[in-house]
Amino acid sequence: MKKGGRPPGPPQAPVPRQPEHPATSVTSLSYSGPLPPPQILRQFEEIVPGSAERILSAFEKESEHRREIEKVQAGIGKHAILHELADRRMGLVFGGLAAFGALGLAALALVLGHPLGAVATVIGTVASLAGVFIYGRRIQASREHPDDRQLTLPHTDDRQP
């Protein structure tokens, strides 16, 4: 026996200590879209009466505003397309008039006995029209591919450059 009068017994298990800080739980909720889910709207309404109606009203106003902007943009796009078509049509008309006028001058030069002047007029007209055509194609290609800094013409032969 030990001093103190107690018989030796089985060893006692240590008593678990309580944590100094209680456990913390964090809940996260997320949603995508313009409106929160109905249960969250309900919670908003419980906390601030009338808030769900204000949220829905703001959503409706934003949707209407977006539709108006899209209508304006669609109208501007349509207007721009119509102007582009009119510009192209005028270019064709004036180019055709210039070509036929130059051919008329070449014919007149030929009739008046100036074959060299007639040939020079025809060559100059064809070269001018070809230059305008190539320039127009490059402008069109640069609009379609604005990131391309240098445009090249396709190779017509099989040899490698």
Mean pLDDT, the chain, whole residue set: 81
* pLDDT category of residue 65 using cuts at 50, 70 and 90: very high
pLDDT above 80: residue 15:
no
With a cut of 90, say whether residue 4 has pLDDT above it.
no
Average pLDDT, stretch 36-52? 90
Phi, psi (rounded to 5 degrees) for 98 = -65, -40
Instruction: Using CA atoms of 79, 81, 82, 84 in order, give the dihedral in degrees to the nearest 10.
Output: 120
Give the range among 15-19, 31-35, 104-108, 126-130 with minimum mean pLDDT.
15-19
Tell whether the model's pLDDT for residue 155 goes beyond 70: no
What residue ranges do the domains of the chain occupy?
A: 38-144
> Phi and psi for 45 in degrees, rounded to 5?
-65, -35
- The SS3 call for residue 136 is helix
Q: Enter the pTM of the model.
A: 0.42
Give the confidence band of 149 by pLDDT, cuts at 50, 70, 90: low
